[in-house]
């Protein structure tokens, strides 16, 4: 087991190596303080909790950050997990450190109606702090990196959910900050838990071919070194195999096996000056054959995350393509540690204001306005972390947009007034449709008019960036409230009917305040308006109040519960006509004429509340409950077993989880497993098993077992899964 002494000494050595001017007495004081605050707390592996802050501080020190950042890393969990306050940290270690710790702290003590809302608020809080001091997010990434390194001690469900969050948020965020080394480790480790079989197949292949790979890289490295030495260029040359997740993505995107992939190798040439970079490029192209269209100059046009390098793909005499990256030492530091490397060169203070140059941080904060929590979290992947295109205004200014963006996205990236007044667009001096996909180097001109009617609702489906979508929704919210109410009400009532609810029940004087509180609106018109302008979908609105609607309809159907003589036929009674015969239930099921017996649910059909069910008396295991449409229940008329089939029905007031299974038919594509896992995570259901396998003809099948309360929740989850791109079917599992 890891010990405090080992981690403490390792942290000290790292600090002295990367930050020799650090205030070690103050750091030691913070170590003692954090150790005292976390006294008695343990990690999942049983080690003292203080080991985690020490490890995070060491990662922060490797980034080359200052004493305040190291202190913030050591204390980053104190406010969240102990009785420590912001004021106490400010008094002992200064207000800057207190702000860093506060920025990293989650909003765990605030109640939210959904997991997505809590995640959005935590991210928004972090980005707000990040806009003031970039070190907040650097500490948070270091925190996630160490948690990822110790993921083996978590439960399988936690491993999947945390790895999904890492892939969705933290790895792309590290990429956006230019921290490629950390990004690769986050991706590779997360893949190990999200697709262990795929990860292991790649590792087995790389281990089996390690000798020949090393020989190839040594040969290429020697050839480049000899050439550069002969012309007097001093540089460091080394080769590597691309990281596991990069290979995994190539296999999925190109639908190839490891044997069919060739572009597995990358070489770096690090030299002293920029002119040397271009000289090396000429020699590389002289030594090897250039692959057309695979040269990129990020030195003259750096990426938004400050990355600079020359990239070229060539083919050697063995016929194997490989990439060569050429950069200076300073560029290399930035490529490895991104904004962290850049930050340590700045002198004085809290971020020195350079964070304002990260326009995407402002867009992150702006895009959360009038946005549903689930949409906001999802949009981060598209708006901030996807591949980008660089297009130009007619004056030559560069605008970076998410890949797949259209002139609508371009217009709103310039200013909301330009987008709202847009009547047309030109791409490369030719009139273009609003849904034209922009490419790198396009020159885009937006045509506007004072008489423009404003954006169309169709634009919401055309635009790619969340920034544009948010501004369009804001326009509709401001300009078209009456129209939004009409559209929203129609959508909401239609969704109510699709879920077998009478829309009129929302007007009940007792029920309406409960529903509005659940949805966080003051009146129905506000809710309808939000649905109308796109701030909330009708599906999500009904989903959030489903439990209250079910409870209400059951109440008006049950004369005893409501004191009424006649049932109100607002919804079909899911408990059957004889629900009152026996009041004693076992596992949520009542067996007629048998007061108490052992109940088990058949694994062949996994019934859940709301399914029509029947019972079968087993030998020694009580009553086995099947769905009425289960193939194993179709022989109920067989006279040899007819006496063993007994009527059963669901108890009304049970609120316990039931395990069920869905089988998904899919078209094979990269990232589909992650999308399925994301839907299950956001639905807040407990996944017990998630497996998948490829089938001939480009198809795949996934089987997911999870807990639900009733068939209504199951149907809602099934509907969400069917909305995933390339999921073409979803059915209840049956053997």
Helix, coil or strand: residue 557: helix
Name residues whose C-beta falls within 8 Å of residue 363's C-beta, 6 or more positions apart in sequence. Answer: 383, 384, 467
Name residues whose C-beta falls within 8 Å of residue 181's C-beta, 6 or more positions apart in sequence. Answer: 336, 337
Residue among 724, 674, 730, 599 at smallest CA distance from 245: 674
Q: How far from 580 is each of 129, 256, 300, 646, 650, CA to CA, in Å?
A: 57, 60, 78, 16, 11
The Cα–Cα gap between 556 and 566 comes to 9
The Cα–Cα gap between 617 and 93 comes to 69
Helix, coil or strand: residue 457: coil
Q: How far from 27 is each of 11, 59, 84, 200, CA to CA, in Å?
A: 10, 15, 18, 40
Helix, coil or strand: residue 18: helix
- Is 611 designated active site? no
Q: Where are the alpha helices (DSSP H) in 570-611?
A: none
- Is 336 designated active site? no
Give all strands (DSSP E) within 26-175, no chain letters: none
Q: 238 has which bridge partners?
A: 268
Do residues 227 and 283 make contact, with C-beta atoms less than 8 angstroms apart? yes
DSSP character for 111?
-
Do residues 30 and 67 make contact, with C-beta atoms less than 8 angstroms apart? no
Which of 81, 88, 121, 629 is the catalytic position? 81
Do residues 544 and 372 make contact, with C-beta atoms less than 8 angstroms apart? no
Which of 2, 80, 297, 479 is the catalytic position? 80
Residue 34 φ/ψ region, left for φ over 0, alpha for ψ in the -120 to 50 degree band, beta for the rest: alpha
Name residues whose C-beta falls within 8 Å of residue 33's C-beta, 6 or more positions apart in sequence. Answer: 75, 78, 92
DSSP character for 382?
I
CA atoms within 13 A on the CB side of 700: 19
B/e letters for 92-112, b = 16+ CB within 10 Å, e = fewer, are: bbeebbbbbbbbbbbeeeeee
Backbone angles phi, psi at 106, to 5 degrees: -75, 160
Report the first-to-last Cα separation within the chain, whole angstroms.
45
Virtual torsion, Cα 183, 184, 190, 194, nearest 10 deg = 120
The Cα–Cα gap between 183 and 337 comes to 10
The Cα–Cα gap between 4 and 27 comes to 15
Do residues 308 and 299 make contact, with C-beta atoms less than 8 angstroms apart? yes
Helix, coil or strand: residue 201: helix
Question: 635: which 2 tokens?
Answer: 């022989």
Do residues 30 and 53 make contact, with C-beta atoms less than 8 angstroms apart? no
Q: Where are the alpha helices (DSSP H) in 421-569?
A: 459-462, 466-479, 481-498, 511-519, 524-533, 538-557, 559-562
Do residues 563 and 587 make contact, with C-beta atoms less than 8 angstroms apart? no
Do residues 440 and 390 make contact, with C-beta atoms less than 8 angstroms apart? yes
- Helix (H) or strand (E) holding 595, with range, is none
- Please report the DSSP string for 59-77 in residue order: HHHHTT--HHHHHHHHTTT
> Active-site positions?
80-81
């Amino acid at each position: 087991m890891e010990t405090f002494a080992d981690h403490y000494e390792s942290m000290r050595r790292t600090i002295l190596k990367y930050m020799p001017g650090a205030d070690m007495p103050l750091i030691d004081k913070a170590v003692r303080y954090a150790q005292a605050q976390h006294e008695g707390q343990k990690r999942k592996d049983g080690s003292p909790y203080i080991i985690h802050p020490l490890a995070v501080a060491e990662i922060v020190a490797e980034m080359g950050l200052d004493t305040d950042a190291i202190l913030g890393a050591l204390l980053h969990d104190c406010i969240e997990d102990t009785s420590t306050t912001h004021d106490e940290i400010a008094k002992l270690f200064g207000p800057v450190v207190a702000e860093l710790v506060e920025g990293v702290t989650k909003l765990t003590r605030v109640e939210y109606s959904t997991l997505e809302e809590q995640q959005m608020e935590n991210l928004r809080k972090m980005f707000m702090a990040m806009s003031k001091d970039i070190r907040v997010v650097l500490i948070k990434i270091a925190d996630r990196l160490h948690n990822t390194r110790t993921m083996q001690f978590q439960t399988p469900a936690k491993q999947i959910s945390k790895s999904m969050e890492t892939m969705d948020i933290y790895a792309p965020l590290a990429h956006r900050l230019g921290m490629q080394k950390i990004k690769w480790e986050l991706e590779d480790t997360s893949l190990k838990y999200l697709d262990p079989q795929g990860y292991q197949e790649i590792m087995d292949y790389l281990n089996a071919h390690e000798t020949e790979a090393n020989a190839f890289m040594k040969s290429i490295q020697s050839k480049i070194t000899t050439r550069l030495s002969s012309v007097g260029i001093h540089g460091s040359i080394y080769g590597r195999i691309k990281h596991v997740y990069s290979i995994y993505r190539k296999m999925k995107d190109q639908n190839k096996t490891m044997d069919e992939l060739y572009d597995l190798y990358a070489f770096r040439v690090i030299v002293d000056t920029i002119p040397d970079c271009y000289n090396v490029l000429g020699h590389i192209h002289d030594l090897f054959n250039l692959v057309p269209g695979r040269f990129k100059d990020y030195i003259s046009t750096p990426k938004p995350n400050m990355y600079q390098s020359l990239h070229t793909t060539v083919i050697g005499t063995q016929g194997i393509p490989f990439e060569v990256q050429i950069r200076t030492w300073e560029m290399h530091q930035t490529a490895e540690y991104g904004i962290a490397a850049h930050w340590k060169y700045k002198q004085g203070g809290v971020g020195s204001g350079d964070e304002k140059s990260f326009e995407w941080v402002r867009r992150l904060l702006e895009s959360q306005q009038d946005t549903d929590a689930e949409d906001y979290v999802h949009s981060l992947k598209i708006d901030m972390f996807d591949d980008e295109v660089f297009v130009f205004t007619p004056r030559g200014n560069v605008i970076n947009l998410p890949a797949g963006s259209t002139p609508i996205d371009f217009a709103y990236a310039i200013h909301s007034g330009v987008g709202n007044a847009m009547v047309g667009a030109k791409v490369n001096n030719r009139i273009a449709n609003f849904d034209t996909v922009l490419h790198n180097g396009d020159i885009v001109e937006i045509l506007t008019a004072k008489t423009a009617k404003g954006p169309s609702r169709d634009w919401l489906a055309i635009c790619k960036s969340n920034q544009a979508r948010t501004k369009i929704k804001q326009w509709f919210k401001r300009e078209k409230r009456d129209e939004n109410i009409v559209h929203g009400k129609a959508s909401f009532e239609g969704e109510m009917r699709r879920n077998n609810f009478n829309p009129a029940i929302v007007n009940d004087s007792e029920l309406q305040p409960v529903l509005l509180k659940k949805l966080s609106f003051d009146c129905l018109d506000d809710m309808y308006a939000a649905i109308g302008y796109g701030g909330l979908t009708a599906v999500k609105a009904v989903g959030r109040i489903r439990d209250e609607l079910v409870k209400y309809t059951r109440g008006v159907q049950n004369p005893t519960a409501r004191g009424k003589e006649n049932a109100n036929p607002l919804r079909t009674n899911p408990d059957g006509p004889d629900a009152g015969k026996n009041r004693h239930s076992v596992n949520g099921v009542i067996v007629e004429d048998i007061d108490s017996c052992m109940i088990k649910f058949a694994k062949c059909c996994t019934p859940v509340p709301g399914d029509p069910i029947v019972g079968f008396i087993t030998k020694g295991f009580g009553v086995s409950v099947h769905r009425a449409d289960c193939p194993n229940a179709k022989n109920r008329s067989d006279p040899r077993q007819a006496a063993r089939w007994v009527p059963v029905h669901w108890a009304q007031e049970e609120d316990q989880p039931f395990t069920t299974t869905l089988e998904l038919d899919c078209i094979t594509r990269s990232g589909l497993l992650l999308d399925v896992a994301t839907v299950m995570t956001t639905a807040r259901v407990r996944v017990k098993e998630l497996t998948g396998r490829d089938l001939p003809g480009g198809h795949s099948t996934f089987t997911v077992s999870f807990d639900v309360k009733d068939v209504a929740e199951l149907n809602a989850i099934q509907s969400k899964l069917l909305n995933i791109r390339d999921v073409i079917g979803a059915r209840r599992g049956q053997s």
